[in-house]
């Protein structure tokens, strides 16, 4: 039996790692079979000291965190200027295709993205699939499927009531595969609706298989940057995300130093669990408001984003993924304000900084970079990305990877 909450899991102490150590992989795992996990072995190859991620505690000459290594392309270090910033295809190239589809991920890589980002949720039979949320009315055609009408329901997920929707945990993988993806924000991205109905919901394994094919086709390593969505919620359902994630990564030879993988989450407890098991970099996502669901009211994301909070994050993670307005806040008019010290503070803690989300439409840009009052029209995303590269970020999550690649290549001459 797995713990019903991550707090219980953390309380287990030394036994935590055993929860995440997989047994031998089999084809049944992709179909959703959930066997017992084997006992852990000591991992002396990690090389982390008591204060992982701090450049004064054993960090290599390349500025990377000790023992982890970054992606096969070298990744981005904790200090600006030694390697080029990473371009992370946010949900793929979701500015041009319905998000979290193989077509979106493939387009991102072909546009030059270094990493593609699948958000992970669970099916009823325990398979990890790529969706931004477990509620799928907005991103699939489930509402048009009469055979699933009786599964429309209301649930509370991380304290938020989601009414009259359908949820991945109520569908087997086979049932989800009968659905088709659609554009999530059609009012902002009407052109993407031309691709509605063309693509299925991919599994994590299918994303990894695509990554492998694209790396061969493009003759460069394409990385994956999975995010565990609502981990406490799913563990409470008996469908934890961490164990199958570890299993799939290991099955594919991706749990190793210098593997082209980052693992991220907005919660903290599951990242601490994964830090004890995985050899790939861990990234703590941050936000300009609220707190990680698993910790309750404190510490807030604002507290975690201060020097003391970042030092604490460096004990279990290699980087942070802040909202871009935590780096360049917006004024009351929507214009850009003066930059904060977050990048400098994170680098001082030995953490890389990968902010989110860079999008071309006016509605997502600061006032001074908007082209008009039309929220769906493109503004000056080039200028926004140039600003953040100049401030020293180590990578960016973007719905428009082609814009970020052009800026990066232009910056480098």
- Reported as a single tens digit per residue, the pLDDT across 275-284 is 999 999 999 9
d(CA 14, CA 45): 18
Residue 247 is inside which H or E element, if any? helix 242-251
Picking from 43-47, 190-194, 324-328, which range would have the lowest pLDDT averaged per residue? 43-47
Cα–Cα distance, 242 to 284 (Å, whole number): 15
Answer whether 374's CB lies under 8 Å from 362's CB.
yes
Is 68 a residue whose pLDDT tops 80? Answer: no
Contact 20, 274 (CB under 8 A): yes
First to last CA, the chain: 55
Tens of pLDDT, residues 277-305: 999 999 999 999 999 999 988 899 999 99
* Predicted local confidence at residue 46, as pLDDT: 35
Beta carbons within 10 angstroms of residue 212's beta carbon:
14
Range among 53-67, 69-83, 262-276 rated most confident? 262-276
- Residue 174 gets the label, from left (phi > 0), alpha (psi -120 to 50) or beta, of alpha
pLDDT in tens, 12-57: 433 333 434 333 333 333 333 333 323 222 222 333 333 333 333 2
Q: Which residue is it, tokens 């994301």?
A: 301
> For 350, phi and psi rounded to 5 degrees?
85, 20
Residue 162, strand partner residues: 155
Q: Cα(177)–Cα(199) distance, rounded to whole angstroms?
A: 10
3-state secondary structure of 184: coil
What tokens appear for 413 in the block? 């001459």
pLDDT in tens, 196-237: 999 999 999 999 999 999 999 999 999 999 999 999 999 999
3-state secondary structure of 9: helix
Average pLDDT score over residue span 262-287 = 98
CA–CA distance, 215 with 221 (Å, rounded to integer): 5
> Does residue 80 register a pLDDT over 50?
no
Which of 89, 170, 111, 176 minimizes the C-alpha distance to 141?
Answer: 176
- Collapsing DSSP to helix, strand or coil, 82 comes out as coil
pTM: 0.84
What is the DSSP code string of 315-350?
TT-SEEE-BGGGTS-B-TTS-B----SHHHHHHHTT
Largest CA distance in the chain: 60
Burial 128-154 (b: 16+ CB within 10 A, else e): bbbbbbbbbbbbbebeeeeebeeeeee
Q: C-alpha dihedral over 298, 357, 404, 261, to 10 degrees? A: 60
CB atoms closer than 10 angstroms to residue 214: 19
CB contact set of 91 (below 8 Å; sequence gap of 6+): 99, 100, 104, 117, 118, 119, 132, 399
Q: In this predicted structure, what is the pLDDT of residue 82?
A: 52
Q: Tell me: the pLDDT tens digits for 351-388?
A: 999 999 999 999 999 999 999 999 999 999 999 999 99
Provide the pLDDT for residue 381. Answer: 98
Mean pLDDT, rounded, for 399-405: 98
pLDDT digits (tens, 9 = 90+) for 171-186: 999 999 999 999 999 9
Q: Span 334-343, mean pLDDT?
A: 98
The CATH number of 53-134+201-411 is which of 3.30.465.10, 3.40.50.10380, 3.20.20.190, 3.40.630.30? 3.20.20.190
The secondary structure of 76-132 as a DSSP string is --SSTTSSPPEEEEETTTTTTS-SSSHHHHHHHHHHT-SEEE-EEEE-TTS-EEE-S
In sequence order, the 6+-apart residues with CB closer than 8 A to the CB of 13 are none
Between 65 and 357, name the one with better pLDDT: 357
The two tokens of residue 190 are: 């009407």
Total count of residues recorded for the chain = 413
Q: Which pLDDT does position 55 carry in this prediction?
A: 33
Give the start-to-end residue ranges of the domains of the chain: 53-134+201-411
Neighbours of 323 (CB within 10 A): 17
Q: What is the mean predicted confidence (pLDDT) over 317-324?
A: 98
3-state secondary structure of 351: coil
């Amino acid at each position: 039996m797995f713990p019903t909450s991550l707090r219980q899991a953390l309380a287990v102490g030394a036994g935590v790692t055993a929860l995440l150590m997989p047994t031998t992989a089999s084809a049944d795992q992709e179909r959703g079979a959930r066997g017992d996990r084997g006992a852990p072995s000591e991992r002396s190859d990690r090389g982390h000291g008591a204060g992982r991620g701090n450049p004064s505690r054993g960090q290599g000459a390349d500025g990377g965190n000790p023992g982890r290594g970054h992606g096969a392309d070298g990744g981005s270090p904790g200090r600006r200027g030694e390697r080029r910033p990473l371009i992370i295809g946010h949900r793929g190239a979701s500015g041009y295709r319905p998000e979290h589809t193989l077509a979106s991920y493939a387009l991102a890589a072909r546009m030059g993205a270094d990493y593609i980002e699948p958000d992970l949720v669970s099916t009823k039979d325990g398979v990890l699939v790529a969706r931004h949320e477990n509620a799928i009315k907005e991103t699939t055609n489930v509402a048009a499927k009469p055979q699933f009408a009786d599964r429309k329901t209301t649930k509370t997920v991380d304290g938020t009531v989601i009414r009259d929707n359908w949820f991945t945990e109520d569908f087997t993988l086979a049932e989800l595969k009968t659905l088709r993806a659609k554009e999530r924000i059609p009012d902002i991205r009407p052109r993407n609706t031309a691709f509605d109905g063309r693509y299925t919901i991919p599994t994590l394994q299918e994303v990894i298989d695509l990554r492998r094919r694209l790396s061969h086709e493009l003759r460069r390593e394409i990385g994956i940057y999975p995010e565990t969505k609502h981990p406490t919620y799913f563990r409470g359902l008996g469908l934890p995300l961490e164990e199958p994630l570890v299993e799939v990564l290991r099955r594919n030879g991706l749990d190793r130093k210098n593997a082209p993988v980052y693992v991220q989450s907005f919660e903290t407890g599951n990242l601490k669990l994964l830090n004890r098991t995985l050899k790939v970099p861990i990234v703590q996502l941050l936000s300009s408001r609220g707190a990680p669901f698993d910790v309750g009211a404190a510490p807030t994301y604002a507290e975690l984003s201060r020097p003391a909070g970042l030092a604490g994050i460096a004990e279990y993670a290699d980087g942070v993924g802040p909202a871009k307005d935590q780096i360049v806040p917006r004024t009351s008019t929507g214009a850009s304000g003066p930059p904060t010290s977050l990048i400098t503070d994170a680098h001082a803690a030995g953490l890389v900084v990968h902010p989110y989300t860079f999008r071309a439409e006016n509605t997502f840009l600061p006032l001074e970079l908007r082209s008009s009052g039309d929220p769906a029209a493109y503004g000056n995303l080039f200028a926004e990305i140039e600003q953040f590269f100049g401030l020293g970020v180590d990578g960016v999550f973007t719905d428009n990877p082609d814009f970020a690649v052009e800026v990066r290549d232009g910056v480098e001459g």
